[in-house]
Amino acid sequence: MPRILLGVCGGIAAYKALEVTRLATKAGHSVRVVCTEAATRFVGTASFAAITGAPVLITEWEPDPLRGAFPGDPPPEHAPLSHLALVERADAYVIAPATAQTLAKLAGGQADNLLTAAALACRRPMIVAPAMNHAMYEHPATQANLDALRARGVIVLEPGTGPLGSPGEFGIGRLPEPAEILAAVEAVLAAAPRDLDGLGVLVTAGGTREPIDAVRFVGNRSSGRMGLAIAAAAERRGASVTLVAANVSIPRPPGIEYVDVETTAQLAAACDAHFDAADVLIMAAAVADYAPAAPHAGKLKKDQTGEELTLRLERTQDVLSGLAARRRADQMLVGFAAEHGDGALAYGREKLSRKNLDAVVVNDIGGTGIGFDAADNEVWIVTEGDERHVPRAPKDEIAEAILDAVLNRRSSNELKVRD
Ligand code: CTP
C-alpha cells in the first residue's frame, strides 16, 4: 500500500487538506499527517487522525505512538526520531497547502518544525502545493523560493486563479482542487514503483577477513558497493531489507537493518539467523573460500617466524550452498560469480545448478573500471534457461536490473505453483 506523508501549513486552504486526506485513504493509500502549529488554528488535528487512523504530529518533541509507522504497517521496536522515521517510510511527501513562509524555509533549508525538518530529511519525491494571497505568491521572493525548490527536483503544483480566501480578493494563489493534488501524487507514485512491498530481502555485501593473527588478515578488495546498491534499491522499492555487511566502510543508506561481521564464520551465523525471515537472499559479498587454519592469538613477531612464514589455509564453509540446502520453495536465492575472461558465463551457469540457485550474477573481473571496488559494473544475470546481459552502468542501475530479474523469476515461480 503506497504511503503518503501529508504536510499541512497554516492557511485558509488548510481545510482542503482534509479532503485530500479523505480521497487518498479512499483510494487505498496509507496516509500520515504532520501539521505546523499555524495549521492547527485553521483545521483540527482530530479530523485528520479520524480519517487516517493515525495520530497527527506537530512538533519533534511529542512521542509518536506509531513510532513512524504508517497505518497498516507494524511499528518498529525502537522509537525513532519522528521527522526521520516518517519521511523514510513515505513513498511521497506532499505539502498542501504550502504557505509563503514554509516555502521560504524549505528553499533556505531550514528545519525549525517537524514539517520542515521532515522535508530536509526527505529523500523521496516531494510535492508542494502553494496557496496564498496573490500578492504574496507573485512576490519575487516567493517566486525565487519556488524556482530554488524546482531546481532541486521538488514538484510545484501551480495554484489556480480565482476568488481568494479574503472577501473581495481575486487572483492567483488558490490551492488546486484536492482531486488534482491526489492525481499529482499518484503520478509520482507510479513513476517510483514499490514493487517489492512486503518482501523480506537479505543481502550480503563487502568482503570477509580471516585473521592470521591479532592484527593481520587474509582479505579481498570488495568494497561492498554492489551489495549496498542492491540493498538501497530494494529498500526504495518497498522491501524490508537486512544487510549483512562484511567490513563495509562506505556511507550507508538509511532504512536498512545492518548486521556487521568480519569473518566468514560470522557472516554465516548472521545469514543463518536472518534467512528464515527472508523471501529473497542476494549474496553479493566476496566470501573467503579459505581461512588460516590456526590464527595466532597475539601479534606474530619476526623473531618467532624467522625468514619465512608459511600459512596453512583451510576451506571455509560455503555459506550460500549451506542456505540453499535448507531453503523453502518460496525463497529466492541469488549468488554472485566473479569470473575471469572466457567461460565466465559457463561457470555462472554451472554455479546456478551446483548451488541450487534461482539466479547467478556473473561479472567478469578481468575488465578495467568495473567490478571490485569500482563505481560501475557490467554483468550477466543467469537464470534457468535464460541469460541477460546488463551493459556497463553505475552499480545503482545494475542493482535495479538484478531486482527486476528477481521479480520476474518470482512471478514465473508463482505461476508455476498455481499451475
Ligand atoms: N560464497 C559463499 N561462501 C563461500 C564462498 C562463496 O556463500 N565460502 C558465495 C558468494 O557470496 C557468491 C557465490 O557463493 O555469491 C559464488 O562464490 P564463488 O566463490 O565465486 O563460487 P565458488 O562456487 O566457490 O566457485 P570458485 O571455484 O569459482 O571459487
Q: What is the pLDDT of residues 31-83, one digit of tens each?
A: 999 999 999 999 999 999 999 999 999 998 888 999 899 998 888 777 777 66
Query: Ligand 1 centroid vs 3 CA: distance in angstroms?
Result: 38
Which atom from ligand 1 is nearest to the alpha carbon of 289? 8
Which part of the chain has CATH 3.40.50.1950? 3-191
At 360-387, the pLDDT tens digits run 999 877 777 777 777 888 999 999 988 9
Complete edge-to-edge strand list for the sheet that includes strand 332-339: 257-261, 240-246, 200-206, 280-283, 332-339, 359-364, 376-383, 386-394
CA dihedral 389, 392, 397, 402 (to 10 degrees): 30
Check if 220 is active-site.
Answer: yes
Which atom from ligand 1 is nearest to the alpha carbon of 320? 7
Which atom from ligand 1 is nearest to the alpha carbon of 319? 7
129 lines ligand 1 (CB under 6 A): no
**Residue whose C-alpha cell reads 550452498 in the numeric block:** 321
Return the higher-pLDDT residue of 408 and 244.
Answer: 244
At 194-212, the pLDDT tens digits run 889 889 999 999 999 999 9
Query: Ligand 1 centroid vs 318 CA: distance in angstroms?
Result: 7
- Start-to-end Cα distance in the chain: 27
- Report cis status (omega within 30 of 0) of the bond before 167: no
If DSSP codes are grouped into helix, strand and coil, which group holds residue 3? strand
Most ligand 1 atoms within 8 A of CB, residue of 323, 336, 349 to mutate: 336
At 102-129, the pLDDT tens digits run 999 999 999 999 999 999 999 889 999 9
Nine-digit cell string for 34: 504532520
Closest CA to 6 of 54, 66, 60: 54
Q: State how far the Cα of 102 lies from the Cα of 11, in Å rounded to an integer.
A: 11
CATH 3.40.50.10300 fits 200-418, yes or no: yes
Which atom from ligand 1 is nearest to the alpha carbon of 334? 15
Q: Across the strands, what pairs with 393?
A: 377
335 lines ligand 1 (CB under 6 A): yes
Candidates 113, 220, 363, 377; catalytic one = 220
CA-based radius of gyration for the chain = 26
222 lines ligand 1 (CB under 6 A): no
**Residue whose C-alpha cell reads 567490513 in the numeric block:** 247
pTM for the predicted model, two decimal places: 0.75
351 lines ligand 1 (CB under 6 A): yes
289 lines ligand 1 (CB under 6 A): yes
Q: State how far the Cα of 221 lies from the Cα of 182, in Å rounded to an integer.
A: 48
52 lines ligand 1 (CB under 6 A): no
Q: State how far the Cα of 38 lies from the Cα of 16, in Å rounded to an integer.
A: 15
At 343-361, the pLDDT tens digits run 889 999 999 999 999 999 9
* Residue 418 pLDDT level (bands cut at 50, 70, 90): very low
Residue type, 383: T
Output phi, psi for 294, to 5 deg: -135, 80
Most ligand 1 atoms within 8 A of CB, residue of 290, 351, 356 to mutate: 351
Query: Ligand 1 centroid vs 404 CA: distance in angstroms?
Result: 23
How many distinct helices (H) and strands (E) make up the chain? 15, 19
363 lines ligand 1 (CB under 6 A): no
Q: State how far the Cα of 389 lies from the Cα of 400, in Å rounded to an integer.
A: 13
Q: Across the strands, what pairs with 31?
A: 4
Nearest C-alpha to atom 27 of ligand 1 is from which residue?
Answer: 289
- Look up the CATH number of domain 3-191: 3.40.50.1950
If DSSP codes are grouped into helix, strand and coil, which group holds residue 396? helix
Most ligand 1 atoms within 8 A of CB, residue of 248, 267, 320, 323 to mutate: 320
Which atom from ligand 1 is nearest to the alpha carbon of 321? 7
The per-residue pLDDT for 83 is 67
Total residue length of the chain: 419
Query: Ligand 1 centroid vs 25 CA: distance in angstroms?
Result: 47
Nearest C-alpha to atom 20 of ligand 1 is from which residue?
Answer: 337
The per-residue pLDDT for 38 is 97
Residue 62 near residue 81 (C-beta atoms within 8 A):
no
Most ligand 1 atoms within 8 A of CB, residue of 210, 248, 289, 323 to mutate: 289
Q: What's the angle, vertex CA 409, arms to CA 405 and CA 411, rounded to 5?
A: 120
Residue 97 near residue 9 (C-beta atoms within 8 A):
yes
338 lines ligand 1 (CB under 6 A): yes
Q: State how far the Cα of 293 lies from the Cα of 285, in Å rounded to an integer.
A: 22
* Residue 326 pLDDT level (bands cut at 50, 70, 90): very high
291 lines ligand 1 (CB under 6 A): no
Diameter over CA atoms, the chain: 95
Q: Which residues contact 3 (CB under 8 A, 6 or more apart)?
A: 29, 30, 31, 32, 70, 73, 89, 90, 91
Which part of the chain has CATH 3.40.50.10300? 200-418
The per-residue pLDDT for 82 is 66
